[in-house]
Structure 1
């Protein structure tokens, strides 16, 4: 699988969907069953791991307009605290007892146009290989970052990487922890950090930082005891459901137009829980992007000209990777109604979903066209 660094979030979304298709059948009639994924059970007391890492990075020149900003080598520092799961919830054992953490990350870009960044990220670190002395794991995290030196039309127009103070961050990382003592571990890491605002403001090419890390972990207890046996599969595996939801987002057309335009969608999806870790979905949805209407009016040759409809309708297939009530959502969609062809016929979506009750859920998603961010969607819905 190849990652294309075009300064936008989550290039791998549709690969996850395709992989998930091999694991189960199609949705049918919905049934209501109580979710067992988050039910607490007796398990050994969990322990905390504290980490402090130095970071060195390079900036990827993924498009010609940002070439003037990639001469420096950013350096940074990270402080984190990780909770080692031990089996208190069923999904802990299903994922080989991952670590759940919170990280504070600082970068100095050594460039007055870019300045510094300050980020807070939550993450999940899943073990690939683990012994009493060694821990090789893959970490996936997301959060928010603050950039004081962002794009400004009058004072900082050369910064076309970052166009707003508040941005999303995404982290992929391979980490190796070597035990130096019963409590102290040496941490070596190789990662990729991404920063973007998801096109809520423009220009927004986004920053990609391949990063090397070196630091130390302090383990309260190593190795941590785990539950003696895995929990049984949830009662709703093999059953179907319906999702009905609506979303709200906003975006800019360009750096010269400071107006934020509303984007709405409505989605109907049928799903099936095919395993303890996965839901599969198919559905239809409609979109109304008011920035496209503004673009049409600007390009009209005369006031009375007939303009095409900017509304769009699509069909999609999707996957939800389940962690108790939390899910990593990935969709691949195709437009079947698209009179104003402002983009290609395919789109991707990746996001996080939380099931608050058996009925109500909420999502934060990024919708993109060919890995170029289109809009961040704030979604609410019901599961039937």
Structure 2
């Protein structure tokens, strides 16, 4: 039933996506089977790597021609959406079905294509302490998922039909919304077909002169929240609250640098402190230890139309309880609504160890 709901949401989105076109558009679709291996990024999942997983990527792509000012500087990328089905070839891990939004970027006269997609996936057989206790990779049915594809791309080799082949990487994780969350990464080889659906692929590309952007330093205020759980299974999901303030300075049309501070109220740490103080006296954890943290960070923002991609590297200057180390990182996307307000979705981690998916709202003054 949940898979049907996921497919229904995709259908509704695709219809809405198609109806938003207000410029000439060229659409194509691709079907790309893949076959690969689960990477051993953590020895805790070694018992889950048995055979070679396989699957298929179904993509719908709308080519840009420069009608919007951001398109030409990025070499006229495609926007689109994908469906990815993957058989993990292990009954413990089950099957994954995901829906994604993606960008296709091109190199070498559009013969090399790089696709990056972000979405949500449904797993058929997550961890269950009674029925599936060996699955320490997926703690929930719904997971965040990212995939990367790098292909040699040759459309229209015969009429509307073309081919593509290359490599792909598919990542599944629930970002510690619910334990366990060891996650998986599948590296695969892929080859498939491209088919033109609509529009003229030979429409002339438009290159518009872009005005220079000159801005003074701007102040940003952001509130982020969500739920997460410690690595202790069944310790409970708790809300967290993050207050951030940072200054940014535009370096040009597409980049800005950032410097700021975060204040973290992570309630799962309060429970983890209590648990360790009782269950592991040898750790000498004081049950009254403060669960709050304060960090400072530097960052970068890449602007792509009304979206932007943020990367930040931080260090806790107030760190009363030792959890995963004092260095943290954040990657995410922002969507601007007008000149000031924005929504944000980001992943906060310590190196490759995810702590939380953060949903936020902010203002740039």
Q: Secondary structure at the match of 2:70?
A: helix
The 3 A distance-change label for structure 1 pair 264 and 99 is: same
Report the counterpart of residue 168 of structure 2 in structure 1.
191
Q: Measure how far apart 1:221 and its partner are.
A: 5.6
TM-score by length of 2: 0.87
Contact 1:44 1:226 in 2 (8 A): no
**Alignment partner of 1:143 out of 104, 116, 119:** 119
TM-score by length of 1: 0.83
Between Structure 1 and Structure 2, the one with more strand by share is 2
Question: Are residue 293 (structure 1) and residue 274 (structure 2) matched?
Answer: no
Output one character per residue of 1:96-141: Cα deviation in whole Å (capped at 9) or x when no partner. Answer: 100111111111122111111101011111111125xxx2121111
Question: Are residue 233 (structure 1) and residue 227 (structure 2) matched?
Answer: no
Report the counterpart of residue 118 of structure 1 in structure 2.
97
Q: Secondary structure at the match of 1:239?
A: coil
Distance 2:53 2:320 in 1: 45
- 5 Å-filtered alignment, 1:42-53, equals 45-53=24-32
Report the counterpart of residue 13 of structure 1 in structure 2.
none
Question: Are residue 346 (structure 1) and residue 327 (structure 2) matched?
Answer: yes
Distance 1:332 1:182 in 2: 49
Contact 1:44 1:227 in 2 (8 A): no
Contact 1:153 1:255 in 2 (8 A): no
Question: Are residue 164 (structure 1) and residue 154 (structure 2) matched?
Answer: no
Report the counterpart of residue 208 of structure 1 in structure 2.
185
Report the counterpart of residue 10 of structure 2 in structure 1.
none
Aligned length: 337
**Alignment partner of 1:372 out of 347, 353, 363:** 353
Question: Are residue 336 (structure 1) and residue 313 (structure 2) matched?
Answer: no
Residues 237-246 or 258-267, more deviating:
237-246
Q: Measure how far apart 1:339 and its partner are.
A: 1.5
Distance 2:215 2:358 in 1: 29
Q: Measure how far apart 1:184 and its partner are.
A: 1.6
Report the counterpart of residue 279 of structure 1 in structure 2.
256
Report the counterpart of residue 5 of structure 1 in structure 2.
none
Distance 2:251 2:148 in 1: 27
Contact 1:122 1:143 in 2 (8 A): yes
Distance 1:156 1:306 in 2: 33
Q: Measure how far apart 1:188 and its partner are.
A: 0.5
Distance 1:244 1:58 in 2: 42
Report the counterpart of residue 343 of structure 2 in structure 1.
362
After superposing on structure 2, the runs of 4+ consecutive aligned residues of structure 1 that deviate more than 6 Å are none
Cα root mean square deviation, aligned: 2.0
